[in-house]
Amino acid sequence: MRYPKLRELREAVKALIQGPFTTKFPYVPHIPSKRFRGKPVPNSDECIGCGACAEVCPAGAIEVKDIIDSQNGNERQLVWHYDMCIFCAQCERKCTTEKGVKLSNTEYDLATLNRNELVSEPVKKELVLCDSCRNVIGTKEHILWIIKKLGPKVYGNIITLNYLNNELKIVEEQKIEEVLPTTRRASLFKILCPKCRHLILVFDEFNK
């Protein structure tokens, strides 16, 4: 007959004195550890709508919708589908601002019979479109965040410089047209995507 090891005996005595290691969940709410990964909670104030979280989500649980509507405004919506989420924390770890989404360690009991309930409220951000081809460049808050991060270096990037000019009205559109009348080069002072800006820089007003 083999005798129990001292370690096993110690664990048995400890269990008798301290009681069971399991909790009484769901009758008593479970208190998880500080590093417990629960429900991802987006922060609309800190999110800039860049979509980096959706790019790194291995489960494809984050949906990015770009709504182009000339009457009601152009808008990007980010939606978390918790029925697909694997709580890996990649969205929190790779967030551009590091504050746009945080995993809660208190909201974890998401069981339901209706999957439509497992959808977050959409985070809505204003879109910036190319003035020429009307393709999406990014969100307004994303560009403003880049401007803030670049500081004085913002004047070396034509897209951020033009958007800053659009916001602050440093140079009026009328004055630009007076300096460069009816030329394609005047479009350099507009908000353009890299493709349209490349065409203007490579070809002059005579398409040569």
Helices (H) and strands (E) counted in the chain, each on its own, are 7, 6
Q: Where in the chain is the domain with CATH 3.30.70.3270?
A: 40-127
In the predicted model, what is the mean pLDDT of the chain? 81
Average pLDDT (193-206) is 73
Give the C-alpha separation, 53 to 56, whole Å: 5
Q: Rounded to the nearest 10 degrees, what angle do helices 158-168 and 194-202 cross at?
A: 110
- In CATH terms, is domain 40-127 a member of 3.40.50.150? no
**Closest to 79 measured CA to CA, from 60, 99, 56, 106:** 60
HEC per residue, 22-44:
CCCCCCCCCCCCCCCCCCEEECC
Q: Would you place residue 206 in the very low, low, confident or very high pLDDT band (cuts 50, 70, 90)?
A: low
Whether residue 74 contacts residue 63, with contact meaning beta carbons closer than 8 Å, is answered with: no
**How confident is the model over 12-43, as pLDDT tens digits?**
888 888 777 777 777 887 788 888 888 999 99
Percent of the chain with pLDDT over 90: 36
**How confident is the model over 47-95, as pLDDT tens digits?**
999 999 999 999 999 999 999 987 888 999 999 999 999 999 999 999 9
Query: What's residue 204's pLDDT?
Result: 58
- The pTM (predicted TM-score) of the whole model is 0.72
Tokens matching residue 35: 């590093």
